[in-house]
Amino acid sequence: EDITERKNAEERLKKTIALLQSIMDSSSEGIIIATDSTGVILIWNEGARRLLGYEPQEVVGKKNIRIFHTKEYLKSGVMKTNIENMITTGKPLMEEITYVAKDGRSFPVWQVVNPRFDEDGEFIGMLGTAHDITERKLAEEAIKKARDELEMRVRERTEELAETNEELRVEREALRQKNIALQEILNQIEAGKRQMASQIQSNVDRIILPILDTLEGKISQSGKHYISLLRNSLTDITSPFIDSLETRFSKLTPREVEICNMVKNGLTCKDIANTLNISVQTVLKQRSIIR
């Protein structure tokens, strides 16, 4: 009876294990691996077979949990330390590491390993799950690359704007300096004009007017009219209003300008006729045209 009961218990255990294996095999996207307390592999699901490349009969019942870890990870001692901490604290181990498949291909996974304890609290093994995060890592890398390229373009654009601003600042400063130089030139020209006008006025006053005064006392009355016109014309030439005079008389003939100056200086039509040796009627006609 005891033997029969034991066989029935073993049969129920086998069925339970088979059921669990069937459930875990249905999860072909993720890796599920269970070990006993010594590291012997008890469960190796379809996901482990597909991603790592080992058939269950190659690994189940064997103490070869190290076969899918990298040499660097094993040499570092991190695996041993993590398992000891997990057993001591009873908390699951969660980490991102690299698995190595049977064909030598490596890929990143997110691994969660839970310690298993019996009803007395004794450590009896581990249950680990892992998911291939290659696509996530590629997406993260693409995002990082895009962000780096964007930051680089922003830096380049910022530098370009800084260079442009500096060029504009230099151009503005150069333009300001040119304006200052141009203003100085204009001031010099204006000063030169004032100096020239002063010199002309001085020459007229010192040289020409005394000559006219001398001539005026030695010539006839009609000639005196010319002297008076000449004196007044010289005054107009040296006057600050010469520009307005030029504008006013710009459309008149030389004879009409001459008659205008005589009229302005108080000469009558008869005086003008005698001075220019023309008839009074001609003077009247010219004045009519001027009006």
Residues 6+ apart with CB under 8 A from 96: 108, 109, 110, 111, 133
Compute, in degrees rounded to 10, the torsion defined by CA atoms 273, 277, 282, 288.
Answer: -50
The answer to whether the CB of 265 falls within 8 A of the CB of 229 is yes
Three-state DSSP class for 74?
helix
Q: What is the pTM assigned to this prediction?
A: 0.50
Give per-residue pLDDT as tens, 116-130.
Answer: 999 899 999 999 999
Angle between the N-to-C axes of helices 221-237 and 269-276, in degrees from 0 to 180, rounded to the nearest 10: 100
Q: Phi/psi at 67 (nearest 5 deg)? A: -70, -25
CATH architecture of 2-132: 2-Layer Sandwich (3.30)
Could you tell me the two tokens for 8?
């029935």
Strands (E), 118-214: 123-132
Nearest alpha-carbon partner for 50 in 71, 77, 32: 32
Pick from 100-104, 126-130, 146-150, 194-198: least confident: 194-198
- Give the pLDDT confidence score for residue 5 in this predicted structure: 76
Element (H, E) at 115: strand 106-117
Q: How far is CA 273 from CA 205, 225, 232, 249, in A?
A: 30, 11, 19, 21
Average pLDDT score over the chain: 84
Higher pLDDT, 82 or 205: 82
Give per-residue pLDDT as tens, 235-277.
Answer: 776 665 444 444 455 567 777 777 887 887 788 888 888 888 8
Higher pLDDT, 13 or 155: 155
Whether the per-residue pLDDT at 6 is higher than 80: the answer is no
Give per-residue pLDDT as tens, 55-112.
Answer: 999 999 998 889 999 999 999 999 999 999 999 999 999 999 999 999 999 999 999 9
Residue 52 CB burial class (10 angstroms; 0-12, 13-18, ≥19): buried
